[in-house]
Amino acid sequence: MSAPRPTRPASPSPAVTARAAPGLDPDLTAFRFGRRMLYLRKALAPLSAAIVAALGELAASRSAGEGNRQSAYRIAIPGAPEMVARASRRGGLMRMLLTDLYIGVNPRQLRELNLTLEARQRGIPVADPMGAMVEWVAPFLYRGFFVTRAIAGMTLWEFLRTDDDLRVRDHVLEQARLAIRTMQARGLFHADLNLHNLFVTKIGESFAVIVLDLDKAQLFNPPLTPALCHRNSDRLQRSARKLDPAGRYLDAHALSTLS
């Protein structure tokens, strides 16, 4: 992950609290800054101007970040925990046309924020959500960021390529399996489960695995059906084979652990 980006003091800008934003989690507060809507955990509300300024700089810079789509950026705001802002960017052929633009009236960043808050309340190991920003470029056309508390560590794919201690690797793979089982038992279906959005972090003398990138996820009454669990497993296995076709980092034993 890249180093935290320095932020300039935010210029005074009238922020209007949107007290009746539709579908807003009760732990969130919404602010309007011109064409930008900022949704924040209530504890961060006093820092709204500084946060929207930092995200606005990122949106304007178009610089490459970290992660699978080079869309993740660490941001440091005085008085706030270190955070990671992930720009929403398209994959597939649509990225050639719209890149970071989306069409609709229900922003996916706000949906992911609400969903991640509920997933965390269910005890699913996900990143701690801090907020989201939506910039309306035109009617029904927007771009935005999803913001979480920063976590020290690396993706499962990065970990498997850098740690050659077999006992540690087996332990981390078991932790990944536990995270997936917990996710499924508590009703979270991850439509794009892969080795890039399973994140390995150190807790004390051990490791844990966090599930990231819930922009396409869905929450159901727990537990997930066997069919949905199979879809999660199949997607993860395809991701592993695509990244490591020769089985250099993920042998049959490792793949079976993740299945």
The per-residue pLDDT for range 12-47, each reduced to its tens digit, is 344 555 444 556 888 999 999 999 999 999 999 999
Predicted model pTM: 0.87
pLDDT of residue 59: 85
Per residue in 197-226, pLDDT tens? 999 999 888 999 999 999 999 999 999 999
Is residue 5's pLDDT more than 90?
A: no
Indicate the CATH number for domain 154-258: 1.10.510.10
* pLDDT range class, residue 100, cuts 50, 70, 90: confident
pLDDT of residue 91: 56
25's tokens: 């989690």
CA-wise closest residue to 153 among 117, 82, 203, 116: 203
List of residues 6+ apart from 118 with CB closer than 8 A: 25, 219
Residue-level pLDDT at 61: 81
d(CA 122, CA 108): 21
pLDDT: which is higher, 66 or 196: 196
Name the amino acid, one letter, at 32. Answer: R
* pLDDT bracket for residue 6 (50, 70, 90): very low
Range from 4-13, 88-97, 242-251 carrying the lowest mean pLDDT: 4-13
- Average pLDDT value for residue range 56-61: 87
Residue 21: predicted pLDDT:
57
Residue 236 has pLDDT above 50, yes or no: yes
User: Are the beta carbons of 173 and 181 closer than 8 angstroms?
Assistant: no
Residue type, 149: R
∠ Cα 117 26 43 (to 5°): 80
The residue written with tokens 């035109």 in the block is 138
What mean pLDDT do residues 82-90 have?
A: 88
The ranges assigned to domains in the chain are 16-149, 154-258
pLDDT value for 53: 95
Residue 132's pLDDT is 97
Instruction: Give the model confidence (pLDDT) of 120-158 as tens digits.
Output: 999 999 999 999 999 999 999 999 999 999 999 999 999
Hunting for tokens 């064409």 — which residue is that? 35
